[in-house]
Amino acid sequence: MFLTKMIRKVAFLFSLVLVFTGAAYGQKVKYKDLLVLLNAKQYDQAKPFLKKYLADNDDNASAYLFMGIIYHEEVLKNDVLKQPDKMFSNVDSAIFFYNKCLPKLTEKEVKKNDDNYLMYTRRDLRTGEFGVKLSDIQLDIETRTKSLYERRDHVKSLTKLFKESEKLYGRSNTLYKSLQSKFQNQKDLYLQSDDSVISQLNRLASTFDSSQLAFRNYKTTLEGLGKTGYNQIANLQEINNFKSDGSLPSDFMSDDLKLWDYAAWANKTIKTIKVEVYPLRKELVSFDLEINKLQEKVKKDSLIVNTGELLNKPIFAELKKWDADPMPTSLFQMKIAELAYASDLVAESSLKGVGDISKKIVLIKHQQRLLSNLDSLTHALVNRDWEKDGINYKNFITSAYGTTSVLRNLAEATQEFAKREMVVKKKKLDDNVRLLKWVIFDSDSIPLFKDVPDSSRFKPLVITEHHTAGVTLVDSLLVGYFYTVTPSRTADLKVNFPVDSISITQRDLPLIKGLSLDVTNQSYFVLFYSESKLEGKIPISLVKLSRVAGVEWFASFSTEFTPVELKFTSTTNELSIKTTGYGGDSKMVVIDKTGKRQQ
């Protein structure tokens, strides 16, 4: 039954559409027919015909009312964000037709044409009868008009807040990308930060906060409009990577509105700059000044500095946090290396009275290592990317050195100093190494090596750490010599002694060997023997020397085997000479305290 009624209604409405279609081609529109579409709320089909009807009839209050309702319905259908201008136009049209209707509404009109106002039919609570009241229609029109004014104001505010939020967020995005284009990474941003960067970051945070305030106000206004099809939820995204995050724009029409949290990033960055970066810059200047003061003290007060403590300062780890290869670290390392070398020169000056050549050589080699390190550090500093360093460390360079060129000139001057000093130290080392091979006594230089040239007056046969002995030619005869060897390579004892000129001759010089024994640094035994045997035996010259008497005694004899070791017995003052044959046999030869052979 219900289905049958619906089919009839649809068929009827369709027939009306056909009627009105015919009217569109010149036939006159009948309001009674049109009213069927209007009461059925078929506003889209009725609108063009109602317009045509009103063009020919300007005295129908109901027609004006329905035209206002049609525009009012269109207002509610208009997209509040995409079609605000169209909606405002429809609001004006709806109000216009409502206002055209009101003057024409009278009791007479309502009673005469009550079929035109069926939608206002209600039961009279006093009489119990159904009917239409003028006051109900007037109240409805006033209410509708008021709601239209309110919606227009709300939508104006809504679109303004929406556009403002979107615009401010877009401006935030532009400010952020400006920072991205200016710095290669966030560490560069920290290193190069200054008051202008802080100002940019503050502007970014402020702009984003304003965008969010406008968005919250937009959401509040949106809630007052009822169903609009929009329900954006701001989903703030954290910026973790300065270069890859934060650059893409956002679609403010999307319900899941992903927004980069520029304010959180900017505020965090500002805090890091003020709490960590700015104080570090002051530390750099202070530390550089501290090194300069130490250099002055080394120069003026001969202070010896423990540079290891300087190299372990926390400032080096702090710099590493911001830069993998920080220029100030290279600079400080160079200056500390120069300070270490200067301290070593002070230490060397304190050894001048000692004259220990071996110690001098050790010290010179240590200084060469310090200079090599200094040269390496200055080379690295001179060849840095000074353009980038000048930008990253502008504050430090300006505060401590004035300009980048001044700092670079310092590095180049230090490198030249290191190279000059390395040349000086090499010559000094070579000189001392040569001195180490000689012992000096008055004008004589006695070699402390055995491969002496043929032209040498001295032929060393014994060389020990504390003395040397050998032979020299005096008036065509071989004479023995003995010199003590001191750390300064100057002899404090010289003794010449006789050699058995019959068994040990100049002709046999290449075959002459020597042994010696130091007895408490006061007395010495020196033994020469020739590998050229006489009558099958080894000829030996033996002498005892002392600091007090010089030559105490001299003895010459021969042994069956070759002498290999001297041993002194303090209880008997006897000297034992161990001799060894080719087969490994050995014999001891004992010499008493007067130089007499006992066995």
**What pLDDT shows up at residue 1?**
41
Residues making up the chain, counted from first to last = 599
The count of other CB atoms within 10 Å of the CB of residue 19 is 17
And the tokens for 35? 């009213």
Q: Report the run of H or E that residue 122 belongs to, with start and end.
A: strand 122-123
Cα-flanking dihedrals φ and ψ of residue 426, to 5°? -65, -45
Do residues 377 and 333 lie in contact, with contact meaning Cβ atoms separated by under 8 Å? yes
CB 100 within 8 A of CB 71: no
From CA 581, how far away is CA 560, in angstroms rounded?
8
pLDDT, residue 476, reads 77
Position 352 confidence tier, pLDDT thresholds 50, 70, 90: low
Tokens standing for residue 231: 């329900």
Query: Is the model's pLDDT at 427 over the cut of 60?
Result: yes
Starting at the earlier edge strand, list the strands of the sheet with 458-463. 458-463, 467-474, 477-484, 494-498
Starting from the edge strand earliest in sequence, which strands make up the sheet with 562-569, in order? 562-569, 574-580, 586-591
295-326 pLDDT, tens per residue?
A: 999 999 888 888 999 999 999 999 999 999 99
Farthest CA pair distance, the chain: 174
Residues 447 and 127: their CA atoms lie apart, in Å, by: 149
Work out the pLDDT band at 351, boundaries 50, 70, 90. low
Q: Find out whether 412 and 419 touch, Cβ atoms under 8 Å.
A: no
Whether residue 393 has pLDDT greater than 70: yes
Supply the pLDDT for residue 301: 86
Burial of 343 (0-12, 13-18, 19+ CB in 10 A): buried
SS3 labels along 17-61: HHHHHHHCCCCCCCHHHHHHHHHCCCHHHHHHHHHHHHHHCCCCH
CA–CA separation, 397 and 331 (whole Å): 11
pLDDT confidence of residue 26 = 54
Spatial separation of the C-alpha atoms in residues 280 and 275, rounded to whole Å: 9
Alpha-carbon torsion, ordered 352, 357, 359, 361, to 10 deg? 110
Nearest-10 Cα torsion for 225, 230, 233, 237: -140
- Segment 489-516 mean pLDDT: 89
Determine the residue type at 577: I
Find out whether 322 and 187 touch, Cβ atoms under 8 Å.
yes
| DSSP 8-state assignment for residue 238 | P
pLDDT, one tens digit per residue, over 507-523 is: 888 899 999 999 988 99
Q: Starting at the earlier edge strand, list the strands of the sheet with 512-519.
A: 512-519, 523-530, 538-546, 550-559
Q: Per-residue pLDDT averaged across 369-388, rounded?
A: 96
Residues 359, 175: Cα–Cα separation, whole Å: 66
Per-residue pLDDT reduced to its tens digit, 154-193: 999 999 999 999 999 999 999 999 999 999 999 999 999 9
Average pLDDT over residues 492-499: 94
The whole-angstrom separation of Cα 341 and Cα 371 is 7
pLDDT the model gives residue 547: 93
Q: How far apart are CA 72 and CA 87, in angstroms?
A: 9
Q: What is the pLDDT of residues 66-102, one digit of tens each?
A: 999 999 999 999 999 999 999 999 999 999 999 999 9
DSSP 588: E
Kindly report the CA angle at 352 between 347 and 353, in degrees rounded to 5? 125
Rounded Cα–Cα distance for residues 342 and 17 (Å): 109
> pLDDT band at 9, cuts 50/70/90?
very low
Q: For the chain, which domains are there?
A: 17-157 (1.25.40), 182-268 (no CATH), 272-435 (no CATH), 439-591 (no CATH)
On average, the pLDDT of the chain sits at 91
**Could you give the 3-state DSSP secondary structure of residue 11?**
helix
What's the confidence (pLDDT) of residue 599?
64
What is the number of other CB atoms lying within 10 angstroms of the CB of residue 517? 18
Token duo for residue 81: 């964000």
On whether the CB atoms of residues 104 and 65 are closer than 8 A, the answer is: no
% residues pLDDT > 90 (the chain): 77
Listed residue (324, 325, 307, 313) closest to 380, CA to CA: 325
